[in-house]
Amino acid sequence: MAAYEKGSRPHLPIEQTPLYVTLVELSHWVWKTVQDWDEFARSTVGKQVVRACDSVAANLVEGDGRFSQADAIRFLIYARGSARETAHWFRISRDRGLVDRKVIDEKIAAWNSACRDLNGLINYRRKNTGVVKEERAMSYVITEHVSMNEDEFAEWLNSWPAV
């Protein structure tokens, strides 16, 4: 058994966290869903949403394996960017009729919840490691939509014109 300083906790690998498990489950759902699309939809929207979605959990794992806290946080921020891209492709797939609206809206709600958890993880790591935050304006732009509650997020999504 490893010895830890008083008050410290052992490191929990990111793969054992509920956040990671949720992201991977959603990623598997995306993969299976895209398989049923026609060739054109798979080769355009499908490839993009799969890559973006897979990238979120992959960046969490890569950041968790980094030596410095600054590097680890940098990869969490990359994951957050990929999470925003994934939300974009979810909306596109819904608006283009590739996925049932009710189903994708449920997945968007789960994704939004995971994004809030990811923001919480970034803030926790910054607070407990003293790593300085990126520029304020950039942080606001990146986190603006994921800080909404589910009703606000749904209202915001529905405010976009149908394509």
Residue 95 domain-assigned (yes or no): yes
Residue 21 domain-assigned (yes or no): yes
When pLDDT is averaged across residues 114-121 and rounded to a whole number, the result is 90
Residue 9 domain-assigned (yes or no): no
Q: pLDDT class for 150, splitting at 50, 70, 90?
A: low
Residue 87 domain-assigned (yes or no): yes
When pLDDT is averaged across residues 120-140 and rounded to a whole number, the result is 66
Q: For tokens 């950041």, what's the residue?
A: 63
Question: For the chain, how many structural domains are there in total?
Answer: 1
Tokens describing residue 158: 């529905």
Is the pLDDT at 138 greater than 90, yes or no? no
Q: Which domain holds residue 125?
A: 14-158
Residue 98 domain-assigned (yes or no): yes
Give the CATH number, domain containing residue 91: 1.20.1440.60
Measured CA to CA, the distance from residue 23 to residue 16 in angstroms comes to 12
Tens digit of each residue's pLDDT (9 = 90 or more) over 34-76: 999 999 999 999 999 999 999 999 999 998 888 888 888 999 9
Residue 1 domain-assigned (yes or no): no
Tokens describing residue 101: 């609206």
Q: pLDDT class for 132, splitting at 50, 70, 90?
A: low
Q: What is the Cα 76 distance to its own chain's centre?
A: 9
Residue 96 domain-assigned (yes or no): yes
Residue 113 domain-assigned (yes or no): yes
Q: pLDDT class for 100, splitting at 50, 70, 90?
A: very high
